[in-house]
Amino acid sequence: MDKEKKNIKRREFLKGSLVASGALALFGTGAFILDNKAAENIPREDFLRPPGAIDEKDFLYGCIKCGLCVQICPVQAIKLSGATEGLAFGTPYIEPRMQPCDFSCDALQCVETCPTAVLDFKPFKEAGLRAVEEAAAQPGADLSQVNPFEVQKVAMKEEVRIGKARVNKSTCLAHNEQGFKGISRGKDFEGIYRSPNSDATSASPLSDRVFNREICNLCITECPIGEKAIYQKLNRSGKLVPHVLDGCTGCGVCQMVCPTEDASIVVEPY
């Protein structure tokens, strides 16, 4: 009987050893992947980081991958990168074609909630304070009529620099003197945003909106920043086309709403 118990314990020990060995092997494989990916020019150059992201190398080592920015984003624009991204594994990024940062939180909540300041709130706070001071300094300003939060939130959004949009002239409908009528990404598209042309207080599906433009200008009319970021101008050929300015925040709304099969306006990270 005692011998039988010893044999059972021996088999359990061997099973446990095999499981532990397998776990260590798996961990080693993961570490090997991370090391290899680190050597393969990780992080990816096309990653769009959330607002306020510091220098990429410092960001990688400072981000603790807590996911708070993901949880607090009201439009779920922020995702966490997968294990194939090497050292960037678990860090937050934005894929604007699917879901951009539309600023509908009105407070850059992802930046405010970051516990390590790899999403740095300081420049936004300073921009907001400057805007309030400038509003108060206007000749004849009635401070009782100035809402500091409204002034601050506009200035904070305009301070964001996720990237800058670039127009593909060969496929852009406006550059080809074409209009657009219908639902820009189809009825099944799940992306949401708060249109600057509405009084809505929260984001709603892009698929709910039907457009009718003689010359396509969705990237301009749906931009949450407005003419400081992008406007419609006459080019040398006399065509009304989108023109991106340095005020572009790289939020990616233009990239999401663009109705061409592959977006004709794409945000490139700084």
Task: State the SS3 of 13-28.
Answer: HHHHHHHHHHHHHHHH
**Domain of residue 15, residue span:** 1-40
pTM exceeding the 0.85 threshold for the entire prediction: no
CA torsion 105→264→239→193, rounded to 10°?
-20
**What's the pLDDT score for residue 220?**
98
Q: How far apart are CA 265 and CA 96, in angstroms?
A: 11
**What's the pLDDT score for residue 26?**
43
**What's the pLDDT score for residue 270?**
81
> Look-up: residue for tokens 């981000």?
63
**What's the pLDDT score for residue 44?**
66
User: Would you say residue 207 lies in a domain?
Assistant: yes
**Please, what are the averages of pLDDT over each run of 10 residues along the chain (270 residues)?**
48 43 42 47 73 95 97 97 91 97 95 97 96 87 78 96 97 97 98 93 96 98 97 92 98 98 95
**What's the pLDDT score for residue 19?**
39
59 contacts 53 by C-beta, under 8 angstroms: yes
User: Would you say residue 76 lies in a domain?
Assistant: no
Half-sphere exposure of 7 (CA within 13 A, CB side): 4
User: Would you say residue 191 lies in a domain?
Assistant: yes
Q: Which helix (H) or strand (E) holds 233?
A: strand 230-234
User: Would you say residue 129 lies in a domain?
Assistant: no
Q: What are phi and psi of 226, to 5 degrees?
A: 90, -150
User: Would you say residue 220 lies in a domain?
Assistant: yes
User: Would you say residue 240 lies in a domain?
Assistant: yes
User: Would you say residue 150 lies in a domain?
Assistant: no
Report the domain count for the chain: 2
**What's the pLDDT score for residue 138?**
86
**What's the pLDDT score for residue 64?**
97
52 contacts 160 by C-beta, under 8 angstroms: yes
User: Would you say residue 57 lies in a domain?
Assistant: no
